């Protein structure tokens, strides 16, 4: 296998607060290969967005990357000087935020914002950048791009604005796109279009995509692999069809059970009891143990580390075969 586009190893992100240091991301590792879409799923506060922001180097104080490494196609980016990291942002990593209505500066024409970004990263003349901007708008599916390029953001609908945001994210041909809840703020009918657009762009350009969402449906439709996050850790990671059909981690099982099916079985959806712990009160051992139906003594003392299990990898003591005495 060739070198992954993005490789995150043992990432730790901490936030200094008045009540001490809170660890938002604890020992997270994953890879994304060229052209691959990795879905990152989890409840709010699981650390999905923070992981994305850490990769693009936009963790604001009081937060900081406290440990681990992030490599972008071989280049270590987590400790780059600010100015070099700025050059990586937008050029090699593109980012799409949740709310297209507020992502664009309302006082500038969309074309000017695209041209500005293009010219920041590529040495193109004003007119060449403008031609490229028109091509980009056409590529993301904006009709009459040569006219719309001189429109202001408020003249675009939500879905169209998200297309502009995507055009901005891909305008310098990045190797990696981080999409943070790109469809959450959109109409259901528009969601599918945006998802297929992101998927198509990833395929056409060989771009790796990190798709952060809490919507399992979106993940199932778009992703090649999926990482399930819980309380700042990766609970389970693996090919999307395996994780969806055969989740291993009790939390992932709960998540999959909570997806309604169209089969019409009059079955109650599974609900995971309790809620995710706050960062200031993460339990000892496995952070999921108070809510886990299968928890045993070891789960309350020792933190489970990721274990390979077929195509998947799962951080759960249930699959650790050595102390087999309590698995049953």
| Residues of the shown chain interacting with other proteins in the complex, contacts defined by CB under 8 A | 56, 58, 86-91, 94-95, 97, 99, 102-109, 116-117, 120-121, 152, 154-155, 165, 168-169, 172
Q: Which is nearer to other proteins, 170 or 234 (CB)?
A: 170
Least distance in angstroms from the C-beta of 314 to other proteins: 32
Helix boundaries (H) for the chain: 48-56, 82-88, 100-103, 110-121, 126-139, 145-148, 158-170, 188-205, 216-222, 240-245, 250-257, 297-301
Query: What is the helix (H) or strand (E) element at residue 141, kind and residue range?
Result: none
Least distance in angstroms from the C-beta of 163 to other proteins: 14
Task: State the Cα–Cα distance between residues 140 and 164, nearest whole angstrom.
Answer: 7
Measured torsion, CA atoms of residues 109, 175, 35, 184, in degrees rounded to the nearest 10 = -40
Least distance in angstroms from the C-beta of 182 to other proteins: 12
Task: State the Cα–Cα distance between residues 137 and 247, nearest whole angstrom.
Answer: 39
Q: Which is nearer to other proteins, 95 or 226 (CB)?
A: 95
Residue 59: DSSP 8-state = P
Task: State the Cα–Cα distance between residues 83 and 70, nearest whole angstrom.
Answer: 17
Place of tokens 């408020």: 154
Q: Which is nearer to other proteins, 117 or 289 (CB)?
A: 117
Q: Which is nearer to other proteins, 59 or 231 (CB)?
A: 59
Question: How many CB atoms neighbour CB 65 within 10 A?
Answer: 18
Least distance in angstroms from the C-beta of 166 to other proteins: 12
Measured torsion, CA atoms of residues 285, 27, 223, 5, in degrees rounded to the nearest 10 = -160
Q: Which is nearer to other proteins, 98 or 213 (CB)?
A: 98
Q: Which is nearer to other proteins, 87 or 284 (CB)?
A: 87
Least distance in angstroms from the C-beta of 26 to other proteins: 24
Least distance in angstroms from the C-beta of 56 to other proteins: 6
């Amino acid at each position: 296998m060739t070198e992954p586009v993005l490789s995150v190893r043992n990432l730790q992100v901490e936030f200094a607060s008045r009540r001490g240091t809170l660890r938002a991301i604890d020992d997270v590792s994953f890879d994304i290969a060229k052209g691959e879409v990795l879905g990152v799923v989890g409840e709010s506060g699981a650390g999905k967005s923070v992981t994305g922001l850490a990769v693009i180097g936009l963790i604001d104080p009081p937060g900081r990357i406290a440990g681990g490494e992030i490599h972008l196609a071989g280049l270590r980016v987590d400790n780059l000087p600010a100015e070099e990291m700025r050059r990586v942002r937008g050029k090699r990593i593109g980012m799409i935020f949740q709310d297209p209505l507020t992502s664009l500066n309302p006082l500038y024409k969309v074309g000017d914002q695209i041209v500005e970004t293009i010219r920041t990263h590529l040495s193109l003349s004003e007119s060449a950048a403008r031609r490229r901007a028109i091509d980009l708008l056409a590529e993301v599916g904006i009709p009459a791009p040569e006219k719309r390029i001189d429109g202001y953001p408020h003249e675009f609908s939500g879905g169209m604005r998200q297309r502009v945001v995507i055009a901005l994210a891909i305008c310098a041909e990045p190797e990696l796109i981080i999409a943070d809840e790109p469809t959450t703020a959109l109409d259901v009918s528009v969601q599918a279009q945006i998802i297929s657009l992101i998927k198509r762009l990833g395929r056409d350009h060989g771009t790796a995509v990190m798709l952060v969402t809490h919507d399992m449906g979106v993940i199932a439709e778009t992703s090649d692999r999926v990482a399930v996050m819980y309380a700042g850790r990766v609970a389970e990671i693996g090919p999307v069809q395996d994780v969806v059909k055969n989740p291993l981690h009790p939390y992932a099982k709960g998540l999959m059970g909570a997806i309604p099916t169209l089969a019409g079985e009059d079955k109650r959806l599974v609900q995971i009891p309790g809620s995710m712990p706050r960062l200031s009160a993460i339990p000892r051992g496995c952070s999921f143990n108070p809510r886990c139906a299968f928890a045993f003594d070891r789960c309350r003392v020792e933190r489970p580390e990721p274990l390979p299990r077929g195509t998947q990898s799962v951080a759960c003591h249930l699959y650790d075969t050595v102390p087999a005495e309590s698995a049953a």
